[in-house]
Structure 1
Amino acid sequence: MTGKIISVFGSTGLQGGAVVNALLKDGTFKVRALTRNVESPSAKKLVEKGAQVATVDLNNDVESIAKVLQGSYGVYLVTDFWSLFEKEEEIGKKVVDAALKAGVQHFIYSSLANTSKISNGKIVVPEFDMKAHIEDYARQVSAKHPEFISSFVHLPYYAQGFNTDFLPITKIEEDKYFISFPISGKPMELIDVNDVGPIALAEFKDPKKYSGVGIHFTGSALSGPEIAEKLSKATGKSIIFKPMTYEEYLALGFPGVEGIADMFKFVSEYGSYPGKDSNLAKEIIHITTFDEYLEKNPIQLK
């Protein structure tokens, strides 16, 4: 193992955790797992796996965050809109500044499409657009400071989201279920979030090759009925897809429903990252298909 340290934000979450696991398994870099609570069970498990664990408060100023990143060769940043809300863009840019101040050489950010720009203002998804603005800012910083390399990953829907509050599988009667969400037009692009780990690792290992590069990847692109068919096959239960309109989804009325509805609307019309090539990721690893994900991760239905 070299002395180079990669600091990973969101290390106890699905995406950050996937990056931590890939880095630890490979062994090329030391891992500094950043979390709000170093005493949490998830943080303690990371220590058992071999990671350093450090506390970071994203509400702190640039100097304070830079101190946490001091000595890091690389940084992996994923920002969570649902915990940061309107502060996401400000905080993401602050972390970029902190990484630069700390002397970080390679910065990787998990970004999304600029929905308002792509749709000419017709569809605006803050969760997407603020991430796109953070990516733009990181690119600007790299242009001014060539020693600060920035790279990017773009993830569509997680297969891990099925049978959760986000994409529930609802029981109709014994052995009969349905799923319903407002997707139509373009298929839904799905990935196993764990695939982001080896992709980020490849970027960290070859900064020259991936400088300024955004890696987009898709395991499967499926319609609603195709998703239901694959879920049925995997679970041995009858699962049907019930189409849902944008207005019907809005009527559910849960906190944040408008943003999620607009996300579905954008992806239905434009795809997760329109005009971008997802083949580069396939040169790095085999991207897990939805069938393969379900085989490895059986869904338990009630």
Structure 2
Amino acid sequence: MTPKTITVFGATGNQGGSVLRSLLQNSNFAARGITRNPQSNASMALAARGVEMIQADGFNSEEMITAFHGSWGAFVNINSDDKIFANTKGPTEFDMGKTIVDAAAHAGVQHFVFSSGPPCTEMTGGLVQMKAMDMKYKIEKYARDLRAFKSVNPIGAGWFLENFLGKEAAPVFGGFPHFPDEEGFLTFRVPYWGGEENVPWLSISDDFGDIVQGIFLDPMRWDGHFVHGVSHICSFDRVVADFQDVSGQKSRFVPILPSWEAFDTHGIHELEDVKLMFGFTQITDGKYFADPTECHTASELKKTTAMALGWSESRYELVTAREWFSVRFEK
């Protein structure tokens, strides 16, 4: 049987890279990645693993049609922090998304998986406007309304556990899990999440790609279903306690009060949406997606992929925060 080609836009990013690494394990799929710079280290590393890397710009319709040519499926994640979107008079994320969707449809892509977001402004009655989330939802809606694909499968990525590996932004969050405070604690300082404090944690490296592959293994079943890209659901308190247990390092969660508005981004542009995210989740009583957060769908998709790849039952399950920390910070 000829492998079905799945093309990934955003191939060198965290999400796209995870999807490609998962797809490479399945001989029924041929993995293709789209990049603006095929000579970048990330692009060449993917090519070395067997990914067909195609050069194309998300704003160039002809290039995108060529990149999608012959593809059975597509996974698309647009980097909302791309500097090109910072210019208020320049092209928007929706402009790029529309070009990508139209190109995929023109090229005959049958199954379109899109990394989307909730309609933030709508859900908060205009109180919080997360431009990135609203743009992604607008692109998702455009793809669905176009009715050019056999299936449109939106997925939302939770809070990356991998963010804890970076030291640069750690001081903004109190230093956790790298820099002790003046009292010797690794302190995690963020506003409360809201509602029942059901924070959606995600291991990009362990789970995300397998969840997406699970969609591609039966895309018609998941058509129109917004998948919660979540590995584990637990509070900030619990995640810090799990870290302390496995690392042996004195740690604590200290909420920023009285509300999300007290979160200081220290002028870091990329953290402005993080601040708004806390506003969004507090106002919606803890919702990060349009529906209450759940991980049973992601669990089923992970298991579907594991079974298709012939993995042992020990690899069927999603990774918990405690398991994730134990691999990377164990004492």
TM-score by length of 2: 0.82
Instruction: Kindly indicate whether the alpha-carbon contact (under 8 Å) linking 1:6 and 1:29 is maintained by their aligned counterparts in 2.
Output: yes
Q: Distance in 1 between matches of 2:290 and 2:226?
A: 13
Matches within 5 A, 1:256-275: 256-270=270-284, 271-275=287-291
Give the stretch that moved more between structures: 284-293 or 213-222: 213-222
Identity %: 27
1:176 to 2:185 alignment: yes
- 1:153, 1:54 → 2: CA distance? 24
Deviation at 1:126, TM superposition (A): 1.0
Pairwise CA distance, 1:113? 0.9
Q: Which stretch shows the higher mean deviation, 251-260 or 190-199?
A: 251-260
2-structure distance, mates of 1:118, 1:103: 34
CA contact (8 A) 1:12 1:35 kept: yes
After TM superposition, give the deviation of residue 179 of structure 1 in Å.
Answer: 1.6
Q: In 2, are the aligned partners of 1:175 and 1:237 still within 8 Å (CA)?
A: no
Cα offset for 1:232?
1.5
> Could you say what secondary structure the match of 1:199 adopts?
helix
**1:297 aligns to 2:328 (yes or no):** yes
Where does structure 2 lack aligned partners over 5 or more consecutive residues?
87-91, 303-316
Moved more, 257-266 or 152-161: 257-266
Query: In structure 2, which of residues 86, 91, 94 is the aligned counterpart of residue 89 of structure 1?
Result: 94
Deviations 1:266-300 (A, max 9, x none): 12343211425542222222222111111233389
Alignment of 1:103-122 (within 5 A): 103-122=108-127
Q: 1:151 to 1:172 in 2, by over 3 A?
A: same
Superposed CA RMSD: 2.2
Task: Report how far residue 224 of structure 1 moved.
Answer: 2.6
Q: How many residues align?
A: 296
- Residues 34 and 298 from structure 1, CA distance in 2 versus in 1: closer, same or farther, beyond 3 angstroms? farther
**Could you tell me which residue of structure 2 aligns to residue 233 of structure 1?**
245
Deviation per CA, 1:192-227: give whole Å up to 9, x if none.
Answer: 123121221122122221222221143333333222
Does structure 2 retain, via aligned residues, the 8 Å contact 1:183–1:265? no
Q: Distance in 1 between matches of 2:31 and 2:208?
A: 16
Deviation larger for 43-52 or 132-141: 43-52
Deviation at 1:163, TM superposition (A): 4.4
- Which residue does the alignment assign to 1:213? 225
Shift of residue 159, structure 1, vs aligned partner: 0.7
SS in 1 for 2:19: helix
| Deviation per residue, 1:61-90 (Å, 9 max, x gap) | x22211121111111001111115362121
Match of residue 192 from structure 1 = 203
CA contact (8 A) 1:9 1:34 kept: yes
CA contact (8 A) 2:119 2:290 kept: no
Please list every run of 5 or more consecutive structure 1 residues that lacks an aligned counterpart in the other structure.
none
Deviation, 1:256, is 4.3
d(CA) in 1 for partners of 2:181 and 2:102? Answer: 51
Contact persistence 2:47–2:53 (CA under 8 A): yes
Contact map agreement 2:112 2:152 (CA 8 A) in 1: yes
1:41: which partner in 2?
41
CA–CA separation in structure 1 for the residues paired with 2:297 and 2:265: 39
Q: Which moved more, 1:105-114 or 1:81-90?
A: 81-90
- 1:248 maps to 262
CA contact (8 A) 1:249 1:257 kept: no
Q: Contact conserved, 1:250 with 1:257, CA < 8 A, in 2? A: no
Q: List aligned pairs for 1:57-72, cutoff 5 A.
A: 57-60=57-60, 62-72=61-71
Residue 99 of structure 2 corresponds to residue 74 of structure 1: no
Structure-1 separation of matches of 2:268 and 2:165: 17
Q: Distance in 2 between matches of 1:132 and 1:120?
A: 16
Q: Report the 3-state secondary structure (helix = DSSP H, G, I; strand = E; otherwise coil) of the residue aligned with 2:220.
A: helix
Shift of 1:8: 0.7
Q: Distance in 2 between matches of 1:180 and 1:75?
A: 38
2:143 pairs with 1:138: yes
Q: Sort the Cα spacing of 1:255 and 1:207 in 2 relative to 1 into closer, same or farther, 3 A.
A: closer
The CA deviation at 1:175 is 5.4
Rounded to whole Å, the distance in 1 between the matches of 2:265 and 2:320 is 32
- Output the amino acid matched with 1:102: A
107-116 vs 214-223, which deviates more? Answer: 214-223
SS in 2 for 1:59: coil
For the 8 Å contact 2:114–2:154, the answer to whether it is kept is yes
Q: Judging changes above 3 Å, is the alpha-carbon distance between structure 1 residues 27 and 127 closer, same or farther for their aligned structure 2 residues?
A: same
